[in-house]
Structures are given as C-alpha cells and as structure tokens.
C-alpha cells in the first residue's frame, strides 16, 4: 500500500541556503515545502549599512544554472583581484581573474538583493510552497516518512514528507531535535562587520590582511564602498565596538595600511563571536543537513556560504536523479551518496579555514618566517597557485551539474 506524503521534500529554514535548495528543485516533479519563521523582505530600501555576502565564482555558476543570477547580476560587484598579506612581514599572495581566465574571482552582493533574487525565482515555481511564518516544533522519522509538527500562525499543523532538510543555521533545531553531536571549537575571536568608504577607488580588488589578532578582510562593493570583516581577540573586538567613528577608523587604518588611501566613513558596526561547528553526522533516517546546520566555519577566506551552496548543488543533483529513476529521494541510498560526496569538500574547507586561523594567529618567529616564505613561494609558482585558487573558487574536485553551470 502506498503511503500518502504531503511533500516529497520539506526544507526547514528559508534563509539563503534553504531558499537556494528550493530554487534548485523548482520546476521539477518533486513537491517541496519551505518552513521559515521570518518572511523574506526584499522591499526595504538599500542603505549604506546593508549586509553583504561574498560569492565565489563557483557559486555564481550555481546561481546561473538555477536561474537566480539573472535577477542578481546588476547588484553584484565583481572581485577581479585579491591581495593577501601578513601585516608587518614580507609575505604576499596575489590573485587575478585574468590569469585564471574567468570574468571574476567572486562577487560581493547585498543580502537584501540576494534574498530578493531568490524570492523572485521561487515565485516562478508552482511546485514550491512557502510555509511562512511557521516554526518547527517536533519531528519523528520512520522507515517510510518523516512526520513534522509546525506552529504556523498559532495553529498546530502535522505534515509528512519523504525527506526533511535541515537548513536552519548554526543552532539548527533539526540537528538539536535529533541530538546529533557536533565538533565545536571556540576561537576566542569575534568579527566586527561594517561598511566603509575608502579615500581611493577600490578597483574591484579584495584584500585579506592577516594581523596579530586575526584576519582583516576588505571587499569591494557598489557605490565605491567596501565591506569590512575585522577579526580579532574578543576583548579587542569589543573595545573597537565602543570607539567613536574617528577613533575606529584610525585603528582600522593602523591595521590595514593605506593601499586604499585614508578611510573616510564607517557605517553601523556589528560584532559576532566566532566558532567552528561541524555536525558529526550529516544524515539520519529521512534527514539531511546542509549549510550552517552541518558546518559553521571561521569567516577567513569567505568559504562558509559557498560551501553551503555546494551542498545545495550536490543534494539537488542526487534528489532529481533519484526521482527521475523512480527511486525514493529520501531513501538510504540517496542519503548515503550525499554524505559520501560532501565529506571530502567539508573536511578540506574546514582544514583550510581552521589552518589559516591557527597559522596566522601564532607569533612564533620560525612559524612567521615559514608562512611568509610559503606565501611568497606559492605566489611565484603559478601551477600550484592555480590549484589553490580553483579550490577557493569552488570549481575543483567532483562537481555537480549546477556547479558546471548545467541546469537540472
């Protein structure tokens, strides 16, 4: 006897990663529901302080194949060059999109614009249902189904699906309800995030400058602005938060230097504690975790969101292949394939970001010399550097169809 399911796939979390998975599954035979507590709101006017997201080149290809990029292109500022340096030392690494034969190494987009582009794409797909505002209250799995309980506008609802996706962030309710253990590491660092205006045009160059307390990233934005992510020891970051604008800009200038001239304006500042979180299991019976629910990384090198989009691309590939072959998209074979496929990329991204933080936060003189010699040597060896850049852009290893810019 066949079992009735309200949905084939339920996605818990309608943020950037969850909405992206829904877009990837849009226009297909699968019935998809997206559970989100807070409605998308792309109607607000852009402001100087709008939050931004760095998209790798590979993420742009995924969005292009999903039909999202056409809604986003006009709001995306390209990163044509990247300059990496170690403050007070000789090491440096330079990357150039022309040498990689791509139009940009990545892009910087406002979160508002990305949310709007995802919403526009979702609205064009009849097989996607937005369950919003709604909150996941409970779940149970059986061999054939996942049963979820929602609080939707004060009304309790019970739904069944063949697969539940946890895309609900670093403090994932899905992960917590299943008591999935995590590996967790507190870096003792916090990131101060703000938009700044430099005295010179940024020229579409992104800067990653390693300082004694942590990395300082300055990324090119539209309207001559830059997005700043300044990581430091938590006590130093908290002290920087309470400085007035002129003293904050002076401290920033001291750490960054004058490659962009004198900073003339800083917007509203936010601060976030940084930690590494990795779920020890990324799948359970009828459950899969993606994005920050599976892995929350240090922001150095901007890998976190892009790693989540590669989860989306791989999982969408597997789900639609299974559905096309008449197989159960929430069955153990699909979940096993997803877990095995993503394991290597997850471990590589975690090792890369965690290693950078540990190596560049250590002032031990021999290590300082070694890391600067390593950067300089890598900069002079284009064949090896090309491989490193390809991995950072998300275009190396086994690529799902979306990451090859092929529609599903």
Asked whether residue 42 carries a pLDDT value surpassing 90, the answer given is no
pLDDT computed for residue 362 by the predictor: 87
pLDDT computed for residue 261 by the predictor: 97
Alpha helices in 191-244 (DSSP H): 234-241
Q: Could you give the CA distance from residue 174 to residue 293 in angstroms, rounded to a whole number? A: 8
Phi and psi dihedrals of 7, rounded to 5? -140, 155
Cβ-based neighbour number of residue 42 at 10 Å: 14
Please give the average per-residue pLDDT across 355-381, as a whole number. Answer: 92
Residue recorded with tokens 């597997």: 318
Neighbouring residues of 303: CB distance < 8 A, sequence distance ≥ 6: 56, 297, 349, 352, 353, 392
pLDDT computed for residue 48 by the predictor: 84
pLDDT computed for residue 46 by the predictor: 65
Q: Could you give the CA distance from residue 277 to residue 107 in angstroms, rounded to a whole number? A: 26
* Sequence ranges of the domains in the chain: 7-184+275-404
pLDDT computed for residue 47 by the predictor: 76
pLDDT digits (tens, 9 = 90+) for 17-33: 999 999 999 999 999 99
Asked whether residue 105 carries a pLDDT value surpassing 70, the answer given is yes
pLDDT computed for residue 153 by the predictor: 85
Q: Mean pLDDT over all residues of the chain?
A: 95
Please give the average per-residue pLDDT across 90-111, as a whole number. Answer: 96
Phi and psi dihedrals of 357, rounded to 5? -60, -45
Please give the average per-residue pLDDT across 219-233, as a whole number. Answer: 96
pLDDT digits (tens, 9 = 90+) for 374-401: 999 999 999 999 999 999 999 999 999 9
pLDDT computed for residue 1 by the predictor: 45
Asked whether residue 2 carries a pLDDT value surpassing 80, the answer given is no
pLDDT band for position 38 (cuts 50, 70, 90): confident
* Half-sphere exposure in the Cβ direction for 408 (13 Å, CA): 31
Contact 209, 87 (CB under 8 A): yes
pLDDT band for position 186 (cuts 50, 70, 90): very high
What is the topology classification, in CATH, of domain 7-184+275-404? Answer: FAD/NAD(P)-binding domain (3.50.50)
pLDDT computed for residue 40 by the predictor: 60
Q: Could you give the CA distance from residue 228 to residue 186 in angstroms, rounded to a whole number? A: 22
Please give the average per-residue pLDDT across 120-135, as a whole number. Answer: 94
Alpha helices in 202-303 (DSSP H): 234-241, 245-256
pLDDT digits (tens, 9 = 90+) for 230-285: 999 999 999 999 999 999 999 999 999 999 999 999 999 999 999 999 999 999 99
Contact 190, 357 (CB under 8 A): no
Question: Residue 111 corresponds to which tokens in the numbers above?
Answer: 């979160």
Please give the average per-residue pLDDT across 116-139, as a whole number. Answer: 94
In terms of C-beta density within 10 A (0-12 exposed, 13-18 middle, 19 or more buried), how is residue 129 classed?
A: middle
3-state secondary structure of 319: helix
pLDDT computed for residue 403 by the predictor: 96
Question: Residue 367 corresponds to which tokens in the numbers above?
Answer: 């290590």
pLDDT digits (tens, 9 = 90+) for 51-86: 999 999 999 999 999 999 999 999 999 999 999 999
The sign one gets for the Cα dihedral 86, 87, 92, 96 is positive
């Amino acid at each position: 006897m066949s079992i009735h399911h309200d949905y084939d796939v339920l996605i818990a979390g309608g943020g950037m990663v969850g909405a992206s998975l829904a877009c990837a599954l849009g226009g297909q035979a699968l019935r998809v529901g997206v559970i989100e507590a807070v409605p998308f709101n792309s109607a607000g006017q852009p402001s100087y302080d709008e939050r931004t997201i760095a998209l790798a080149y590979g993420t742009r290809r995924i969005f292009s194949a999903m039909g999202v990029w056409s809604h986003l292109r006009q709001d995306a500022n390209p990163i044509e060059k990247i300059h990496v340096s170690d403050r007070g030392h000789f090491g440096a690494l330079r990357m150039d999109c022309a040498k990689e034969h791509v139009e940009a190494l990545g892009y910087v987009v406002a979160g508002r614009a990305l949310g709007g582009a995802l919403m526009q794409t979702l609205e064009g797909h009849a097989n996607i249902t937005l369950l919003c505002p709604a909150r996941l209250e409970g779940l149970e799995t059986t061999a054939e189904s996942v049963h979820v309980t929602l609080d939707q506008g004060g009304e309790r609802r019970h739904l069944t699906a063949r697969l539940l996706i946890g895309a609900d962030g670093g403090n994932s309710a899905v992960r917590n309800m299943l008591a999935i253990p995590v590996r967790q590491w507190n870096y003792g660092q916090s990131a101060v995030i703000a938009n700044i205006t430099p005295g010179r045009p940024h020229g579409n160059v992104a800067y990653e400058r390693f300082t004694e307390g942590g990395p300082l990233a300055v990324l090119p934005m539209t309207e001559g602005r830059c997005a700043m992510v300044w990581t430091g020891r938590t006590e130093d970051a908290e002290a920087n938060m309470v400085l007035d604008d002129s003293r904050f800009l002076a401290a920033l200038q001291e750490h960054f230097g004058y490659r962009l001239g004198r900073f003339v304006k800083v917007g509203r500042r936010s601060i976030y504690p940084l930690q590494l979180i990795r779920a020890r299991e990324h799948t359970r019976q009828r459950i899969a975790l993606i994005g920050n629910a599976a892995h929350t990384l240090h922001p150095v090198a901007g890998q976190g969101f892009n790693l989540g989009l590669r989860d989306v691309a791989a999982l969408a590939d597997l789900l639609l292949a299974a559905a096309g072959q008449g197989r159960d998209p929430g069955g153990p074979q699909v979940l096993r394939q997803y877990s095995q496929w993503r394991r290597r990329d997850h471990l590589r991204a975690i090792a890369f970001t965690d290693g950078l933080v540990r190596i560049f936060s250590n002032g031990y003189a021999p290590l300082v010399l070694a890391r600067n010699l390593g950067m300089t040597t890598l900069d002079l060896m284009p064949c090896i550097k090309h491989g490193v850049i390809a991995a950072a852009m998300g275009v190396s290893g086994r690529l799902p169809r979306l990451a090859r810019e092929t529609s599903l």
